[in-house]
Structure 1
Amino acid sequence: MPVLFLIVFVDLVGFGIVIPLLPFYAEHFGAGPELVTMVMASYSLAQLVTAPLWGRLSDRIGRRSVLMASMAGSVVAYLLLAWAPSLAVLFLARIAAGAMAGNIAAAQAYIADVTPPERRAQGMGLIGAAFGLGFILGPAIGGVLAGHDPQDVDFLAPALAAAGLSAIAFAGATLVLRESLDRTVPPAPRLSRLVAIRRVLGGGGVARFILIGFATIAVFAGMETTFALWSSRTFGWGPAQNGYLFAFVGIIGAVLQGGAIGPLTRRFGEARLLAAGLVLIAAGLAGIAATTTVAMLFAASALLGIGFGMANPSLASLVSRGAGPGDQGMVLGVNQSAGSLARVLGPLAAGVAFAHLGKSAPFLLGAVVILPVAFVVLAIARETRGRR
């Protein structure tokens, strides 16, 4: 697992590098708030289409091959981003990158292959920690490379750095990573994408956690894609300052997921931990909306980091434990598709809210959506305890 962690970490650093850059890149081509969020959402729309394919493919040909192919494609997508001459090409670059982003479903399936169910949350926490660490270094590096001035952003250097890191991740998967797929376990029967989605979402316990994840990711993605627009209007921030803020959130999430998630899960269980994380996410979003100082912003962002650090691995573990040994890739691929759809609809809704209801509206609406979901999860946790 350490090798997989390092590969995913390097890949996610490359992904994180371009996050502070994209809103300013889109505005450079004359995009308004709605189009800015559409650029961000196009990545997830492509991921939505390809994630089940990557997941099912990893059940058949192996996790390693899928990781290698998707990382090689990411290199090409970032090179296209580096020299995008127009908004249309910028969209194309993000669509290409999203189409390759099914590697996370394969990475989660790899974890499921090599960990017993009772240690699944801790294993998924390693992937979450790689995400967190990617968001520590990625946005910070991308912000520094892009610059502090929102009127004079370097678009080339961050994209080239992302391409280079994806190339390193590809080399690591090729040279070091061993295949985890157990060939003695027959894969699930081949299903069409729609049939696979219907089968997974009709699976009761798994389906409800996928839907809870959908709501959580939609809210978080809406915040993430409108934050740069909000911070530039509230504090006059450019890519660098946004990168530092996302790095701060990433540090908190990585520390929690990398070290504390195992003991917390054993003490409280995934469902209760998830409910607490959702409450903290709602509080953090409301806190950002009410922010008047940088200190208040960092305090609210800390709540977001803690909440997402608790919720993300708990959700992944609950979904994975509801899947059979022969269809981990399929179930996790559908789960990633739901997350991708959330990253499409969440930013689009947030962009409309930002443009028509005010700059803090996406954060307030997110808090309103996520708080009731937390109480639903708490009810599920009590129901589960009552059956024991």
Structure 2
Amino acid sequence: MDRDAAEPEPSRAHRRKVIRVTYVIAALDITWMFLQFSVTPYLAKKLGFDTLWFGYLQTLVGVLQLIGNPLFGRFGDLFGARAALSLACGATVVFFLLLASAEHPAMLFIHKLPTIFMHVLPASQMVVTDLTDPDRRADALSKLGLCFGIGMITGSTLGGHLNTRYGEKWTACVGAAGSLFSLLLVLKFIPKTTKTSTSETNSEAQKKSLFSLGEITRLLKYPGVAPTFIVKIVAGLPSGIFQVMFSIIALDVFKLDPQQNGYLMAFFGISQMFIQGAVIGPLTARFEESSLLLLSVCISAAVGLGQAYMQTVVQFCFTVVPMMFSLSVFNVITDSILTKSVPSSDTGTMLGLCAAVQSLLRTLGPTLGGVLYMNGGVTSIGLTQCAVNTAVVAALLLRPLSSQTHKAHAA
């Protein structure tokens, strides 16, 4: 018998400790990523990038993560949480070192290559999923959204100050040092595997099939998985389009200067932190996940209608809280449903596929959003979101996911 499989399962107190450290690692990673956002645009401008080439740079990241997410999820299932988080944090260190040494336009593209392995947040989701009971999973996953809000505010503020005072290279070096600290936390506190002994044994026979597309896509055959993925992609795409187009909307429609835009982004972060940290947990304890999913899509349709006819930034602010609520609930609930629909030995692969959906939306969003914006402005984007989400609501009412997911639990 494998020695790791024979080890006793961790106590509840030890699980809580590992989860808390995982939240810290996730918050730090988001901090370093938003710190990077204060470096790359300015460095790209210094190196002669125009808007088109900067778009190519962002598309490269989307494609790399779209490819890497499913493989990374499977890597976590096969080799354990510590190996997955170590790979992700190590790749982030390399990412920042390459950014710090970028003195040629080609280096900006080269420094994006490690993003194929940079999946700290999905890896953190793997740990939290493995160490929480199914009935508390949505609440635990929502706390990672709280970490995201903390990291967004901290990283944006820190990156802006460092870049203004010390320049891009120094800021990138701080990101590399911070990522190295995250790696040390992983090696010190995260166990080799967070799977139960049973799921570890079940996955033993699959350890040579990391790059098997069949082993990854077979999860779509479980009851309830494919319909939930369709809902996740179709309902998530219009919201994703608005998010990727927001910087243009803020500039062209609202005429915001950088400082005002920063205040608005802080409002986003605070709203998300409150919803993820204080709202989703009580909701998931009281209501069925299928009902919350339906509610989130309904609110998203209403938000799209409101955004279609907004004229000022004040009017937009009235849509921010319901928008963040629908996005947060939608992402947490769909991830929770999908991880419950597959064996515990495959939850990492499933979370990798969920993350791949987000990468797909970021890849398609700029092109589709540009077409809609050029032909109908913000109104066309908002009405598209309203129409698509209304159709999804109708589909969920006709065929709820709850019955399909219940079958998956039985399987």
1:78–1:321 CA distance, 2 compared to 1 (3 A):
same
> What corresponds to 1:53 in structure 2?
71
> What corresponds to 1:173 in structure 2?
186
C-alpha contact 1:143 1:244 (8 A) present in aligned 2: no
Mapping 1:196-275, distance limit 5 Å: 196-275=215-294
> What corresponds to 1:117 in structure 2?
134
- Aligned-residue offset at 1:92: 3.4
> What corresponds to 1:150 in structure 2?
none
Alignment counterpart, residue 384 of structure 2, candidates 351, 361, 365: 365
- Aligned-residue offset at 1:319: 0.8
Structure 2 counterpart SS, 1:229: helix
C-alpha contact 1:134 1:250 (8 A) present in aligned 2: no
Mapping 1:272-287, distance limit 5 Å: 272-287=291-306
> What corresponds to 2:196 in structure 1?
182
Q: Name the amino acid aligned to 2:360.
A: L
Deviates more, 1:34-43 or 1:101-110: 34-43
Mapping 1:114-153, distance limit 5 Å: 114-142=131-159
Cα distance per residue 1:104-141 (max 9 Å; x no partner): 33222211211111111112112222223323333454
Give unmatched runs, 5+ long, in structure 1.
148-153
Structure 1 counterpart SS, 2:345: coil
Between the aligned partners of 1:40 and 1:195, the Cα distance in structure 2 is 29
Give unmatched runs, 5+ long, in structure 2.
1-18
1:378–1:256 CA distance, 2 compared to 1 (3 A):
farther
Structure 2 counterpart SS, 1:178: coil
1:347–1:204 CA distance, 2 compared to 1 (3 A):
farther
C-alpha contact 2:85 2:120 (8 A) present in aligned 1: yes
Structure 2 counterpart SS, 1:237: coil
Identity of aligned residues (%): 27
- Aligned-residue offset at 1:6: 0.8
> What corresponds to 2:9 in structure 1?
none
1:58–1:347 CA distance, 2 compared to 1 (3 A):
same
Q: Which has more radius of gyration?
A: 2
1:160–1:386 CA distance, 2 compared to 1 (3 A):
closer
- Aligned-residue offset at 1:70: 0.8
1:87–1:45 CA distance, 2 compared to 1 (3 A):
same
Q: Name the amino acid aligned to 1:112.
A: T
C-alpha contact 1:274 1:377 (8 A) present in aligned 2: no
> What corresponds to 2:364 in structure 1?
345
> What corresponds to 1:300 in structure 2?
319
1:226–1:382 CA distance, 2 compared to 1 (3 A):
closer
Structure 2 counterpart SS, 1:327: helix
> What corresponds to 1:94 in structure 2?
112
C-alpha contact 1:23 1:229 (8 A) present in aligned 2: no
1:322–1:51 CA distance, 2 compared to 1 (3 A):
same
C-alpha contact 2:301 2:385 (8 A) present in aligned 1: yes
C-alpha contact 1:111 1:124 (8 A) present in aligned 2: yes
- Aligned-residue offset at 1:346: 2.0
Between the aligned partners of 2:307 and 2:41, the Cα distance in structure 1 is 19
Deviates more, 1:195-204 or 1:81-90: 81-90
> What corresponds to 2:59 in structure 1?
41
- Aligned-residue offset at 1:63: 0.5
- Aligned-residue offset at 1:3: 0.8
Mapping 1:14-33, distance limit 5 Å: 14-19=32-37, 29-32=48-51
Between the aligned partners of 2:257 and 2:120, the Cα distance in structure 1 is 30
Alignment counterpart, residue 124 of structure 2, candidates 91, 107, 111: 107
Between the aligned partners of 1:160 and 1:250, the Cα distance in structure 2 is 25
Structure 1 counterpart SS, 2:191: coil
Structure 2 counterpart SS, 1:169: helix
Q: Name the amino acid aligned to 1:284.
A: V
TM-score (norm 1): 0.84
Alignment counterpart, residue 73 of structure 1, candidates 77, 91, 96: 91
Between the aligned partners of 1:334 and 1:282, the Cα distance in structure 2 is 25
Structure 1 counterpart SS, 2:111: helix
RMSD after superposition: 3.2
C-alpha contact 1:139 1:244 (8 A) present in aligned 2: no
For the pair 1:163 / 2:176, whether they are aligned, the reply is: yes
C-alpha contact 2:91 2:118 (8 A) present in aligned 1: no
- Aligned-residue offset at 1:65: 1.6
Between the aligned partners of 1:139 and 1:251, the Cα distance in structure 2 is 13
